[in-house]
A and B are shown apart, each in its own frame.
Chain A
Amino acid sequence: MAKTTDTKTIVVLDDELFNIEWLIDYLDAKGYNPLPSSSADEAIQMISAEVYRALILDLNVPMPTELSAAAGKLGAVYQRYPGLFVAYKARNMGYRDRQVIIYSVHRDSEVSAEAEKIGCTYILKGRPAELKSELEQVLSFDPTDRD
């Protein structure tokens, strides 16, 4: 696993950021720096530059054609849900499984199967308390922080 290089920042990927303003407020109140992103390519650029504390990824976000082609090589589900492709990239960059959280309206069996395969958390939108509970556990301990 990759060592966290930015322990205070959490990337939040969602193309309708006003709908997760509550999450931005929550992370801010907990002393973290929420870093919003609204497209798959932007999120991948961000996570290539640093290893952030956690990633919260919506599935349905815009993705440019060239990236979509790359996602398609992994399978149609990665093209259909660009957030899943971002999760895959993150895990392959060394993010730990619990650092990568898929947070979506969709409950899709194909996404569930891939999330299990690549190793990341998958939480449904509808009960914000569930996400908060998961975040509290994830953020309570960083195994790469040995200082």
Chain B
Amino acid sequence: MAVYVFESGTNDMDKDQNATKSEDDEIDLTLLANFTHQIINPLNGVVGTLDNLIDGTIGPERREQRTAAARAQLENCITLVRNLAYLASGQSAFSSTVERKIVVPQVIIEAAMFYQEEGKRRKVSIDLENREVQNKVIGHPETLKQVLMNLFDNCIKYSRFGSQVLVRQWIQNGTSEAVITVRSFPEHEVSNEDLKSIFELGFRGSNAKQMVASGTGLGLHICNHLLKTKHNGSISVQRDGDALLFTLKLPGAWRD
């Protein structure tokens, strides 16, 4: 039996632990710097818009649209902060821990509505097929909405201009899982290497970086984590021709 004696001061185990700790610190600082950038940018935009509304720079014909755009920017910031709050405090970041009935098409539509303004700008539409089919699961509506919002945010930002994000939902025979697929067309091809890392914390693929230089790499990581920990579900991604197909699975689905 080996006996390890750890003396005070630096030894190999301490060095390894210190190295891991400083790598983690670096990831944390980089994430924080990226997060700060992602929050200040839209907030600066909101302040600028409010200034313009107050001093009459924006004429009456555009006031409503600019106000709606500012609201969308604030909602985006809230989503970002929630992502960070979840990361920082684990499962307690969301107010409700009580599971409830979720009507799947309803939560999809609610999540998509947050991205109407941004979608209009890039002429990217989020369309749900068979929205009238009321599939249901038991779970946490807030976290499922967060997952979908993160996914739609990703799709709107990095899809081709003028493309469609197509969402489908059904119940898988045999497993009774609710399946939600989100199909989008990235501006640039996403490599197999990038697909392998796409759910890692802080990861941003080359498609994303070519379109928007800054990002937190938090959204899809949170999707993966929330589905696993809050819904006992899963998310996966694959190429579908030149499209990207995200597949979400949630157990225990039914339809009345």
Contact = CB atoms under 8 A, between A and B. Distances in A.
Interface of A: 15-16, 18-23, 25-26, 29, 60-63, 82, 105-106, 125-129, 132
A26 B213 contact: no
A22 B45 contact: yes
Given A18-B69, A62-B211, A125 B41 contact: yes
Contacts of A128: 44, 47-48, 51
Please classify the interface of chain B as helix (H, G, I), strand (E, B), loop, or mixed, using the class held by over half of its residues: helix
A20 B45 contact: yes
Given A128-B47, A128-B51, A129-B51, A19 B214 contact: no
Contacts of A61: 213
Nearest to A128: B48
B52 A105 contact: no
A128 B43 CA distance: 10
B160 to A, nearest CB: 14
A132 B211 CA distance: 27
B252 interface: no
Interface in B175-234: 209-214
B44 A29 contact: no
Given A21-B66, A105-B40, A128-B44, A26 B52 contact: yes
B212 A105 contact: no
A25 B67 CA distance: 13
**Among the interface residues B43, B44, B52, B211, which one has the most CB atoms of the partner chain A within 10 A?**
B44
**Among the interface residues A15, A21, A126, which one has the most CB atoms of the partner chain B within 10 A?**
A21
